[in-house]
Chain A
Amino acid sequence: MLRAEDVAIWRGDRCLFESLNFELKSGQLALLVGPNGAGKTSLLRVLAGLASPTAGRVLWQGTPVDALPPELRGAIAYRGHLDGLKKDLTVAENLHFYAAIWGGSADLSLLPELKLEAQTHTRARYLSAGQRRRAALVSLRVVASRLWILDEPMTNLDTDGRATVVRWTAQHLASGGCAIVATHQPQEFERPGALVIEL
């Protein structure tokens, strides 16, 4: 579904990596590991179509990701270091916004699973960093994309939140989706057939 061909990324005059090739199939998980500054975030932004690689190309079902037609673009969801929540809107309002833009309806019944039900009508401004990350994860479920691109999703999460991320990812893969996750704890996602990309 997702294929990277000879991808290279340069930052200024420094090469982060070159000739990276991989292919992600339906139901498959890819774990992106590497030290700080190795280019994990840069690669994920390229895979999401937010940035262009210095060389090579990334294809989603045969189409370059930075030239996807609008109806295919919704198939790729990216959650990076920023939570993508408006601080002056409540959690529910943020989720309804995602639903309105991506099409579909905001399933607020997911909130208890992440212990956010008490914060449903709290403005995102008053949430803790961990709670904001949890809300961002719920928004990921709202948009129902095929490919999840997650940049260190465990940041700020407690044990319970981490377990939910792992469980949700497993469910997502089981339903035919695929995911690429940058993480410093690949053992948490331990899964047969997972592709490990080392930068």
Chain B
Amino acid sequence: MKRAFVAILQRDLQIAFRRVSELANPLLFFIIVASLFPLAVSPDSEHLRSIGSGVLWVVALLSSLLALEGLFRADAEDGSLEQLMLSPVPLGVAVLAKVTAHWLVTIVPLVVLTPVLALSFSLPVGVLPVMAFALLLATPTLSVLVALGAALTLGLRRGGAIVGLLVLPLTAPLLIFGTRAIDLGLYGESAVAPLYLLAALAALAVSLGPVAIAAALRVGVE
């Protein structure tokens, strides 16, 4: 099972690196939208600092949505999804491998980039580690949620917008705990509690999510 997990992970990474342009899209979207805010709202650093963490979180949510809403579409179109379903590998394991691969190539760069963008919102440097850590804990949950949306809308021709409608309301806890962690960091207080909650959500999503996604895929392919 481990061998199969590694094989699927490797395959998806290999494909992703052969299609770098698609890989860059969500990242560029993230950079551009986040840089529009200082232009549109006000360049006043006091003002930017107060909206910064919220804006970055929302834009990160939207970029992940963009990055993962088509997670299963290519596989469904070329038949490799139905082959995975018929393979001796439990579908949940295959799903987890795919989500992990896409999290690594699309979401991790985004997490790395966030502290840089945070500086343009005049967020103090001291809060950046908390922000990166919160994002690192929240994005696995987010990826699983978006993958579930992608699996549920597999049969639809234009699934993108519906994935957003399905998934974004469910991301509210991530947003609340994520921005809370940064606010606590801003006030110089310990941000451990919201980070623990994000970690708990991630554990829940990564363990139960693949089973739900696999079930949704079976319905979608039928």
Interface residues of A (CB under 8 A from B): 45, 48-52, 70-71, 73-74, 76-78, 80-89, 93, 97-98, 100-103
CB of B78 within 8 A of CB of A48, answer no
CB of B15 within 8 A of CB of A88, answer yes
- Closest B residue to A74 by beta carbon equals B88
CB of A49 within 8 A of CB of B86, answer yes
Known A97-B11, A100-B4: A78·B82 in contact at CB below 8 Å: yes
Residues of A near B90 (CB, < 8 A) are 70
- Closest A residue to B3 by beta carbon equals A100
Residues of A near B86 (CB, < 8 A) are 48-50, 73, 76-78
The 10 sampled A-B contact pairs (Cβ below 8 Å) are A50-B221, A50-B222, A51-B221, A70-B90, A82-B79, A84-B82, A86-B11, A88-B18, A93-B11, A102-B87
Interface residues as binary, B1-24 with A (CB distance below 8 Å gives 1, 0 otherwise)? 001100110010011001100000
Interface residues of B (CB under 8 A from A): 3-4, 7-8, 11, 14-15, 18-19, 77-80, 82-90, 221-222
A98 to B3, CA, bound (A): 12
Q: Which of B7, B15, B83, B89 contacts A84 (CB 8 A)?
A: B83
CB of B88 within 8 A of CB of A73, answer yes
Known A101-B7, A101-B8: A82·B84 in contact at CB below 8 Å: no
- B111 to A: closest C-beta gap in Å: 25
CB of A89 within 8 A of CB of B15, answer yes
Residues of A near B15 (CB, < 8 A) are 86, 88-89
CB of A70 within 8 A of CB of B89, answer yes
Residues of B near A70 (CB, < 8 A) are 88-90
CB of A88 within 8 A of CB of B19, answer yes
Q: Which of B7, B8, B79, B221 contacts A83 (CB 8 A)?
A: B79
A194 to B128, CA, bound (A): 70
Please provide the 10 A-B residue pairs with the shortest distance between their CB atoms, ordered closest to farther: A82-B79, A100-B7, A74-B88, A84-B79, A84-B83, A51-B222, A88-B18, A88-B15, A70-B88, A101-B87
Residues of A near B4 (CB, < 8 A) are 100-101
CB of A102 within 8 A of CB of B88, answer yes
A13 to B218, CA, bound (A): 22
A83 to B79, CA, bound (A): 6
Residues of B near A73 (CB, < 8 A) are 86-88
Q: Which of A74, A80, A97 contacts B82 (CB 8 A)?
A: A80
A33 to B80, CA, bound (A): 26
Q: A84-B79, A97-B11, A102-B87 are in contact. List 14 more A-B contacts (CB 8 A).
A: A48-B86, A50-B82, A73-B87, A74-B88, A82-B82, A84-B80, A85-B79, A85-B80, A86-B78, A86-B80, A88-B19, A93-B11, A97-B7, A100-B7
CB of B14 within 8 A of CB of A83, answer no
A71 to B11, CA, bound (A): 22
- Closest B residue to A73 by beta carbon equals B88
- B175 to A: closest C-beta gap in Å: 34
Residues of A near B18 (CB, < 8 A) are 88
Residues of A near B79 (CB, < 8 A) are 80-85
Residues of B near A48 (CB, < 8 A) are 86
A89 to B3, CA, bound (A): 19
A76 to B79, CA, bound (A): 16
Most buried by B among A48, A76, A83, A87: A87
Known A70-B89, A73-B86, A84-B83: A52·B222 in contact at CB below 8 Å: yes
Residues of A near B83 (CB, < 8 A) are 78, 84, 98
Residues of B near A77 (CB, < 8 A) are 86
A150 to B79, CA, bound (A): 14
Known A88-B19, A93-B14: A101·B78 in contact at CB below 8 Å: no
